[in-house]
Amino acid sequence: MPGAGGSLMRPLIRQRAKLDALFRKQFRANSLATWFLRALHAQHYAGRPQRQYYEFGVGRGRTLMRYLKALKLHCELENLDPYDHSIFLFDSFEGLPPKASPRDDHPGWRAGMLRHSLEETQAKLARHIDLNRGNVRFVKGFFRASLTPALASELTSRPPSIVTIDVDYYSSTKTVLDWLLPFTPSGCLFYFDDLWSFHGHPEMGELAAINEVNRSGIGHFTPYTELGCTAGGKVFVFARREYEYSEVTKSRGNL
């Protein structure tokens, strides 16, 4: 009988081992997909903010595919509907704009690079998610034209919980943050893809824009290691200077 029991268990053991191997391959220890998965999990249990993903600079969609992979697994594990999560995708779909500042001046970047059409991106995304369900919104245009006060007012009721910024330039990053941060809640998590393009120079590229925010008084970006995964040291948490949860904290303390 022990032998028979062992033979019944072997297929289950092999299946579990196969699943474990697949997970280790697709969700490596410090990969971006793993960070997305842990971020979704942490925000789900914290209760705020959650379920609003903003991506600036979609390109070929590689980062977006990693987010979707993490979202699908997160929703499967937590018995959630992935279509309850909103996805906002901002891109010119015409490649990089001309450089607008000396702080953009990376020799590897030029206007028109990284061009992928809206139709190309939609077709790729449609292989992974049903675009007819209404939870994905594309905002097309160079950021100086597309990120309008009217759009900010519209999205204030749907503030971001996770933000990816993959826009290369300092000037584009600054435009995004100037528009986004007035309605970004404390606890929103950011991934800056091009953070190290200038080898950590504090006055160049995306890092210069982050440092300006930290000097501006609106709030603070802090490197975020809480999840045990930093995706190459490119992840930050944002907290507003006027911390909006303080009254909640006080009221709880008086209970």
Q: What is the pLDDT of residues 105-153, one digit of tens each?
A: 898 888 877 788 999 999 999 999 999 999 999 999 999 999 999 999 9
Listed in order, strand segments (DSSP E) in 64-188 are 86-91, 136-140, 162-165
Identify which of 193, 61, 63, 55 has the alpha carbon closest to the alpha carbon of residue 117.
61
pLDDT of residue 122: 93
Query: Can you tell me the mean pLDDT for 216-226?
Result: 94
Look up tokens 């528009």; give the residue.
Answer: 179
**How many CB atoms within 10 Å of residue 79?**
6
| pTM for the predicted model, two decimal places | 0.85
Do 177 and 209 touch, CB atoms closer than 8 A? yes
pLDDT of residue 19: 47
Asked whether residue 181 carries a pLDDT value surpassing 90, the answer given is yes
- The whole-chain average pLDDT of the chain stands at 87
Task: Give me the half-sphere count of Cα atoms (radius 13 Å) on the Cβ side of residue 205.
Answer: 20
Per-domain residue ranges of the chain: 26-253
Residue 72, strand partner residues? none
Listed in order, strand segments (DSSP E) in the chain are 52-56, 86-91, 136-140, 162-165, 189-192, 219-223, 235-240
For residue 2, is the peptide bond before it cis, meaning its omega torsion is within 30 degrees of 0? no
Q: What is the largest CA-CA distance in the chain?
A: 76
- One-letter identity of residue 154: E
∠ CA 39-45-46, rounded to 5°: 85
Q: Does domain 26-253 fall into CATH 3.40.50.150?
A: yes
- One-letter identity of residue 100: A
